[in-house]
Amino acid sequence: MSARTYRERALQLKPLIEGYLTHHKVLGRSPATIHWHRETLNDFLAFLNAEGIPERADAVDLNVGSAYVLTLQERKQKPGVFDQERAQRPLSVETIRNRVRSLRAFFHWLEEEEVLPKHPLQRLKPPKSLDRIIERLTEEEIRLLFAALDTKVWWGVRDQAILAMLLETGMRAGELVGLQHEDVRLADGFCKVLGKGNKERLLGLTPFVVRCLQRYEIYRPESTHPTYFLSDRGRPLSVNSLQWMMRRLGEKSGVTRLHPHLCRHTYALNFLVAGGGELYLQRILGHSSLKMTQHYASLANVHVVERQQQFSPLSAMGVSVRGHRGGPAAHPRKPRPGGAPATV
């Protein structure tokens, strides 16, 4: 084999991607993280193939990267199992930003491994993130959700425990379904979750959550699975099963926007409004940086608006709105002599 042929094979993206994923496995990255990188990089390979670009590391430059981002911006979402209307919507900005981050990380690794002399996508910029105010569940919506639960059947008791856990701990959907029996310590009032980056943390359980979990353990079907929460069929609960459960509960209660992460947003807001500090919230939510937690602080804006609407200084003083008795005055009164304002 000539040196040129060897070099060409060494630059083939498919084996390089497998090497990159193996690198992540050695570092102990979670299966979800590895799957995310694999999905993004395979999608990028499909793009190169569709555009007639060689699947070689040295064939990628800033122009190729930018063209891939444009393709993502024009693409529609895949229809979800429980949301067929997704196929009508474009990919979200955050999805595209995540794809760009994954792609840049891969080529940064190629530079570190000296496969490439220079990072070709160093200057590839993701689309600007939209600064949206994240919503939360209102108190009335939470009451409706708990009222809609059928606790006469075991899976209704399970749903009650799950809803309480999500709203009282702020844990992620993947963390909840990953709970094992040994992780839940009701007598001690805490549970242990495995978060992103395979990082463990402890979360306190309020008396309300403990009572819900105690009731669930009484009615939980016997199973050899160590997984704490079981599906309707008695198997380990998956994220998809949890999403279906939340969708079913949302439709029954009328709170159709319910999803697991909305419970996390709700917990974050309630924690901040109650006076909890951002550093504590960072630890509870399992964020690697305070910057991520500060994003949740924007949730408080919603609460500020609600409190502002509830508090009216003029209403408290008894000031009334006055005007023409037969309806709105056709013309405002002219100022009185001397500059004194007319009565409203």
The string of pLDDT tens digits covering residues 50-100 is 999 999 999 999 999 999 999 999 888 775 544 555 556 788 888 999 999
- In this structure, what CATH number is given to the domain that contains residue 210? 1.10.443.10
Q: Decide if 202 is inside a domain.
A: yes
| 154 and 277 fall within a common domain | yes
- Same domain? For 155 and 228 the reply is yes
In contact, 245 and 148? CB cutoff 8 Å: no
193 part of a folded domain: yes
Residues 238 and 150 both lie in one domain: yes
Judge whether 160 and 215 are in contact, CB under 8 Å.
yes
Overall number of domains in the chain: 2
Are 174 and 262 members of one domain?
yes
For 7-22, how does the pLDDT look when each residue is reduced to its tens digit (9 = 90+)?
667 889 999 999 999 9
Does residue 225 lie within any of the structural domains? yes
Residue 175 is assigned to a structural domain of this protein: yes
156 and 216 share one domain: yes
- For residue 204, the SS3 value is strand
Which helix or strand (DSSP H or E) is residue 201 part of? Answer: strand 200-204
The residue among 223 and 341 whose pLDDT is bigger is: 223
Per-residue pLDDT at 329 exceeds 50: no
β pairing state of 184-185 and 200-204: unpaired
The alpha helices in 52-147, defined as continuous H runs, are 62-74, 93-112, 139-147
Q: How far is CA 64 from CA 45, 48, 99, 106, 228, in A?
A: 12, 8, 14, 15, 47
The answer on 106 and 157 residing in a single domain is no
Q: Does residue 146 sit in the same domain as residue 101?
A: no
Same domain, 97 and 149: no
What residues contact residue 166 under an 8 Å CB cut-off, 6+ apart? 176, 260, 263, 264, 267
Q: Are residue 153 and residue 278 in the same domain, yes or no?
A: yes
Domain assignment of residue 312, yes or no? no
Domain of 259, in residue numbers = 139-305
Bridge partner list, 194: 200
User: Is 66 a member of any domain?
Assistant: yes
343 has pLDDT over 50: no
* 174: in domain: yes
Mark whether 296 and 157 lie in a shared domain. yes
Phi-psi label, residue 132: left if phi above 0, alpha if psi -120 to 50, beta otherwise: beta
Tell me: do 67 and 149 sit in the same domain.
Answer: no
Residue 26 counted as domain residue: yes
The overall pTM is greater than 0.75? no
Give the dihedral sign, CA 125/127/128/129: negative
> Are 160 and 100 members of one domain?
no
